[in-house]
Amino acid sequence: MSDRVGICAVAQTPWVQNLWGQRFQGLALGVVEDLRRQTGLGFGEGTGIDATVSVSDDLYDARTISNNALTDVLGAHHGCEEKVAQDGLQALTYGLAMIRSGHAQVVLVVGHCKESQGQSRNQVTHLAFDPFFTRPVGLDFLAAAGLQAQAYMARSGLSARHLAEIVVRARAAGAANPFTPEVTALTEDEVLASPLVADPLRQAHVSPVSDGAVGLILASEDRARALSDTPVWIEGVGSCLDTFFLGDRDLAAPWALQQAAARAYRRAGVSDPTTAFDLVELSDPYAYQQPLWLEGLGLCPEGKGPRFLDGGGAERANVNRSGGVLAGNPVLLGGLVRAAEAALQLMGKAGARQVPNARRALAHGTMGPAGQFHAVAVLERD
Amino acid sequence: MTTKRRNVGIIGVGQTVYSSHREDVNQPELIWEAVDLALKDAGVTLDDIGCVVHGNMELFEMVHQPDLWHVLGTGAYGKEALRVTTGGTTGATLACVGDQLVASGLHDLVLVVGFEKLQEGHTTGGITNMADPLWGRSLQTGALTGMTAQAVIDEFGEERAKRAAMRHRVIMDRHAMKNRFAHRRFGLTFDQIDDLARTSPPLVGELRMIHMCSQSDGACAVVMAGQEVIERLGKKAAWVHDHVTVHREETFTLFGEEKVKPTMRVAAERLFARNGITDPRRQLDLFEMYDPSSWWGLDWLREFLLLEGDAHLKMVENDEIALDGPFPVNPSGGVVASNPIGATALVRVAEAANQIRGCAGDHQVTKTVRRALASGFGGTYWTVLLLLGADPLPLPAPGGAA
């Protein structure tokens, strides 16, 4: 029996700002039906989909047990469905563990999020802070990002011009990505004139509120080969959780991501990340995080993110051909959409954003204030 | 259908005392109490742990992604971390996750943490909030339902049904009296049965306050390890033989009047079939059941043990489920005694593991426990069912002809 687990199919809805006319169950259903069309799979232990891993969040959905509302859709009539309530990339890790443990052979992964349902997603992320010390000072993930941006810009020399360039590049890619139909190109001047939301972060530096769903089919090697002509193998995964209080962390250093990446690289046998990947899909809900996370992934030396960008490194390394989280995905699903995009690239199904002959890719997800948690996956085709 | 890749065992268990109010500790501090005990029990330190698996239900305490704050108590700092939640079944799912993380070879030692501090929210409000806002929320009454009580009464007559349910409740309380971690320990006696069935405040129909589970503060932590590690440490383990997760749709009437087979029976049939269990009461030694009320605890005995007729009532009437009986159920006192929801189903697994390892303390059952069941309940009648054993499974050697 092989240890390999493959991604056999990928589906996603368009990512748009406010799908007010659709329930989240409907979003997930569209994705599931698309995956079933692609693979011919039905639900049923031993014969079709053995188990489902969903990704959602009780607070974004304003429903206790948010996955309870989805069981009708996710094939859980007398079947197995479990919810990862963390960055969506962790559903890939859990699906991998399910299959490699011998407990399942075919796993459906489906994530949904409607950030638009809340009055403000800052209200949701505010509640991630402890009620005693950090909630009373009004922290949310946006405010934490402002603090991290200040710390990182002071240390690395990342400038407002860098931030504008990152946004312009992401928006241009997003504008060309059919799955982000509302994303429009921006000029540097427009970014520089965008309203300040958490000094030094401007509105355009922050990923737009968005709604949608994404799904993948994972399978053991023999099943994957039968289900797909272009399976994409999950060669390595890794994650790391940093400590909680912002003051206990060095916000300008990507320590937790370095740990997560090292674990994924060790499992995948990657020795030199600067040359290992044909493309990188990283989660950059805030523009300044793109160079910081590139440092954390080891694509450039620590502290040299701005210089890497100046030298055209992001373009050369095919970072976020999709536009990234910055061009519009719910933050909760950041890593899972990145994995889906990376898989599409490796399957040769990425359309106009296709990287020619892509063989190995990296997908990254992050969660929590100022990147407290990171997950990394290394994907590869035959 | 499944062939496990690697044996996984439970070698450490930590529980807090379960209580209605733990105002002396915040959430991470409460969790650390359980984690510290689990690590000591396993004879390992945080440095040995590769991954921390966390679960609870966010809307009870209104903390978003609580593993981020709870890192201060779970010890996950710098480690791999996975957060999985499935409602009331969460704790059992966490055990399944831990099992699969180790069995897959991704990790050698995993720490699994279930938690809830129900004092900090409104439990019945939180549960009601799971119902569809358009179609179900105005009808739902948290987890309080009198339907099962009515069904048992309809089938077996009022007097026998009420006595059996209350006898179940008293047996659970007698067990809880021996468990120093249990939340509700009343000291009930069998001669109170008729009185209690009449005087305990009714919640819904014949579901009365005394029948219903508590809402508790508490945490449970479990250390799970691969066989090589367990042998190296020389620890006695409770081995995870198998588990089955059976959910169902939230729309109860999706199939009209057609009776849908309960998930408890589906789970048991599936688990028993692939583990060669044809006579569960003889082949299994003990059951830690997620029994949110005594009516459910009574009714589900029939489903989980694949019984017919009134065999489940007789088990209760004859005290067969008592901890010195032939088939002990919930020697811990069960969920009617202690219910920190995100931890509750993990407590079932932990208690079953302790019974197998022979370290359950004053509520250790008198018989030897070789194989035990643990169940989780949640969502809209979801079931997770785990089978634990005193011996590792005979697995094909790595690279062998599997």
Q: Which domain holds residue A86?
A: 5-119+209-227
A57 touches chain B (CB under 8 A): yes
Q: Given A77, A90, A259, which is nearest B78 (Cβ)?
A: A259
Is residue A96 assigned to a domain? yes
B122 touches chain A (CB under 8 A): no
Q: Given A64, A93, A128, which is nearest B59 (Cβ)?
A: A64
- Structurally, chain A folds into a number of domains equal to 1
Q: What tokens appear for A334 in the block?
A: 């950041």
Is residue A266 assigned to a domain? no
User: Is A13 in contact with A239 (CB distance < 8 Å)?
Assistant: no
What percent of chain A stands above pLDDT 90?
96
User: Residue B227: how many CA atoms within 13 Å on its side-chain side?
Assistant: 17
Is residue A276 assigned to a domain? no
The CATH number covering residue A49 comes to 3.40.47.10
Please report the domains of chain B, with CATH numbers, ordered by start residue: 8-123+215-233 (3.40.47.10), 136-213+241-389 (3.40.47.10)
Q: What DSSP state is assigned to residue A115?
A: G
Mean pLDDT over the full length of chain B: 95
CB contact under 8 A, A132 and B2: no
A130 touches chain B (CB under 8 A): yes
Is residue A340 assigned to a domain? no
Which of A50, A241, A259, A374 best tests the B interface by mutation, with the highest count of B CBs <10 A?
A241
Chain B closest CA to A352's CA: distance in Å?
35
Question: The complex's ipTM?
Answer: 0.97
Q: Where does the pLDDT of residue B259 fall: very low under 50, low under 70, confident under 90, or very high at 90 and above?
A: confident
CB contact under 8 A, B68 and A62: no
| pLDDT score, position A167 | 98
Which of A1, A29, A64 best tests the B interface by mutation, with the highest count of B CBs <10 A?
A64
User: Residue B353: how many CA atoms within 13 Å on its side-chain side?
Assistant: 32
| pLDDT score, position B397 | 58
User: Which residues, at least 6 apart from A105, have a Cβ–Cβ distance to it below 8 Å?
Assistant: A46, A50, A99, A219, A220, A223
Rounded Cα distance, B305 and B320, in Å: 13
Is residue A31 assigned to a domain? yes
Q: What tokens appear for B175 in the block?
A: 């067990």
Contacts with B215 from chain A: Cβ below 8 Å:
none
User: Which residues, at least 6 apart from A318, have a Cβ–Cβ distance to it below 8 Å?
Assistant: A277, A278, A279, A280, A355, A358
Contacts with A80 from chain B: Cβ below 8 Å:
244-247
Kindly report the pTM of this predicted structure.
Answer: 0.97
| pLDDT score, position A345 | 98
Residues comprising chain B, all counted: 402
Is residue A293 assigned to a domain? no
| pLDDT score, position B401 | 34
Which of B26, B49, B58, B74 best tests the A interface by mutation, with the highest count of A CBs <10 A?
B58
Q: Given B63, B86, B250, which is nearest A128 (Cβ)?
A: B63
Is residue A330 assigned to a domain? no
- Sequence letter at residue A237: V
B5 touches chain A (CB under 8 A): yes
| pLDDT score, position A1 | 47
Rounded Cα distance, B143 and A208, in Å: 38
Is residue A51 assigned to a domain? yes
Which helix (H) or strand (E) segment holds residue B297: the answer is helix B294-304
Q: Could you report the per-residue pLDDT of A104-138, keeping only the tens digit for each?
A: 999 999 999 999 998 899 999 999 999 999 999 99
Chain A closest CA to B170's CA: distance in Å?
32
Rounded Cα distance, B295 and B303, in Å: 13
| pLDDT score, position A255 | 98
Rounded Cα distance, A296 and B362, in Å: 51
Nearest CA in chain B to A4: B104
